Amino acid sequence: MVISHALASGMGGVRTTGDLVARLQMSEGMRIEEAKEYVADKLDVDIADMSDPVIMDEVRKEYGIGRVQPAAGEPKGMEAKMNIAELLDIKINSVENFKDKTS
């Protein structure tokens, strides 16, 4: 069921920009078009390219925000989320906790 939805109408998660758009919906209450526009602006990409895994894999690598098949040394997990918070200019709860515990 998950796979059918992902292929039929999904944004693609960390393969593209779905996780980023979801964050804007969750934390800022943005509707889908507004959230896409916000993320596209921050990433400096066209909205039409936001669900393209070829283009977005390169963009995600460039910004260090995690990608589906990362190479050794690239940001993963919490490291990628810290870069996402800064790039999108949003607070991520777990990133804030991580900073509180480590600084």
Partner 1 sequence: MVQTRMGDGMKIEMSEDEIREDIVRGVEDAVDRAKIDTLPQEEIDYLTDLYTRPSKFVSVEPGNEVVLTFDEGSVKLKRLVISIGRIPDLQIYERVFCSDTAELAHVDYSFKPVKPIIAEEQIEMEQALLSTILPLYYGAMPNLSLYSQPDGEFPNPAELLPKGKIDEAQKAYEGMIEHGIKDMVFVSSKMYEAGADGINFDTTGSAGEPDFLAALRATEKLKEKYPDISIEMGMSNEFVLGMHGDLEYEGTNLAGLYPHEQVKMAEKAGVDVFGPVVNINSSESIPWNIGRTVAMMKACAEEADIPVHANVGMGVGGVPIVETPPADSLCRASVALAEIGKQDGL
Residue numbers at the binding site for partner 1 (CB under 8 A): 1-16, 18-19, 21-23, 25-27, 29-32, 35, 47-48, 51, 65-66, 68, 76-78, 80-81, 84, 91-94, 97-98
In the bound state with partner 1, the residue whose beta carbon lies nearer, of 33 and 44, is 33
Spatial neighbors of 36 by CB under 8 A, at least 6 apart, are 17, 21, 47, 50
Spatial neighbors of 66 by CB under 8 A, at least 6 apart, are 14, 60, 74, 75, 76, 77, 79, 80, 81, 83, 84
In the bound state with partner 1, the residue whose beta carbon lies nearer, of 1 and 72, is 1
CB of 71 to partner 1, least distance (A): 14
Q: Which two tokens stand for residue 81?
A: 């989320």
Alpha-carbon separation of residue 14 from 11, 20, 56 (angstroms):
9, 8, 9
In the bound state with partner 1, the residue whose beta carbon lies nearer, of 9 and 44, is 9
Q: Which two tokens stand for residue 58?
A: 């390169």
CB of 89 to partner 1, least distance (A): 14
In the bound state with partner 1, the residue whose beta carbon lies nearer, of 44 and 94, is 94
CB of 16 to partner 1, least distance (A): 8
